[in-house]
Amino acid sequence: MLELAGLSLDYPGFAARYDLVIPPGALCAVIGPSGGGKTTLLHAIAGFERPTAGTLRFAGADLLPLTPARRPVSILFQDHNLFPHLTAAENVALGLKPSLRLDDSERERVAAALAEVDLAGFAARRPAELSGGQRQRVALARALLRGKPLMLLDEPFGALDPGLRREMIERVDALRREHGLTVLMTLHTPEEAASHADLFALVRDGHVEASGPWARLTASDGPEPVRRFLGI
């Protein structure tokens, strides 16, 4: 279970305080207006931002003292997930060994991770030779290879076409179920994740204003902030 209790971050002109509980193995879609604090929430969990107060626990363990690399977390950004000078296979291999000195079994694991995202024949290609969707799948393969139980996706499919976006969300959902991952994903178009996400969290002004399953949030007696945000 991922638990955030009073997790606070202070910046000039912006203060955030997050309270949220996500059950193990759940897919939580984080929605909200731009500049509301969605990315800050993910970055705080990943360890890129240093909270000033509060607690952050995953599976009972306190994450706050851990550096980003030691946290049980993989993260995908909207863009720049790959290093342009490395091939797809090398980008995936970074998840195992940043030095890229791999033995045979590690090379096999890299190939298997690429095959799992249907990119078996693309190992030698560089990011510039891949489409947007393929690039994100390479990043996904790396995240899987790292074997971290908590996956954070910061609008990773925002730049893709609607059809491809839906396909990628389905793929993430399938991988989540297969590997038992807990997933937090920020989204601009919540409807696309409605049939996959176990719960939604509306983040505005640095706070989780409402959270729960899609059906409850969008019901006629659902929380007012969510209805206002979705325009229903």
Partner 1 sequence: MFRPATLTALAILALAGASLAGLAGAGGNVAALSSLGPYLARLVAGATVQAGLSMLLSILLGTALALALLRRRFPGRNLLLAVLTAAAVAPTIVIVFGVIAIYGRSGLLGDLARAVGAEPPAIYGLQGILIAHVLMNMPLVTRTLLQAFGREPGERRRLASALGFSAADCFRHLDWPVIRREAPALATFVFLLCFTSFAVVLSLGGGPANATLEVAIYEAVRFEADFARAAALAGLQLVLCLGLATALATLAPAVHDEASAERHAARPDILAPCLLRLDCLVLILATAWIAPPLLSIASGVAAVPTLATAEFAWAAATSAAIALGAGLLACLFAVLLASAARGRRLRPRLPDLAAFTMLGLPPFAFVAGLYVLTRNLADPAALGLMLVPLVNALMALPYAYRLLAPPLATNAERHGRLAESLGIAGWTRLRLVEWPALRAPLAAAFAFATALSLGDFGVIALFGGGELTTLPYLLANRLGAYRMDEAGALALVLVLSAGGLAYLTERWSARHA
**Nearer to partner 1 by C-beta: 85 or 177?**
85
**Nearer to partner 1 by C-beta: 39 or 211?**
39
Tell me if 11 contacts partner 1 by CB under 8 A: no
DSSP labels for 21-57?
EE-TT-EEEEE--TTSSHHHHHHHHHTSS--SEEEEE
Residue 126 phi/psi, 5-degree rounding, is -90, 160
Site for partner 1 in 52-81 (CB under 8 A): 67-70, 73-75, 77, 79-81
Question: Minimum distance between the CB of residue 134 and partner 1, rounded to whole angstroms?
Answer: 18
The alpha carbons of the chain give a radius of gyration, in whole angstroms, of 18
Dmax over CA atoms of the chain, in Å, equals 58
Tell me if 129 contacts partner 1 by CB under 8 A: no
Q: Could you say which of 32, 37, 51, 95 contacts partner 1 (CB under 8 A)? A: 95
Sheet with 182-186, edge to edge strand ranges: 73-76, 150-154, 182-186, 27-31, 199-204, 207-212
* Site for partner 1, rule CB under 8 A: 39, 43, 46-48, 67-70, 73-75, 77, 79-81, 83-86, 94-95, 98-99, 146
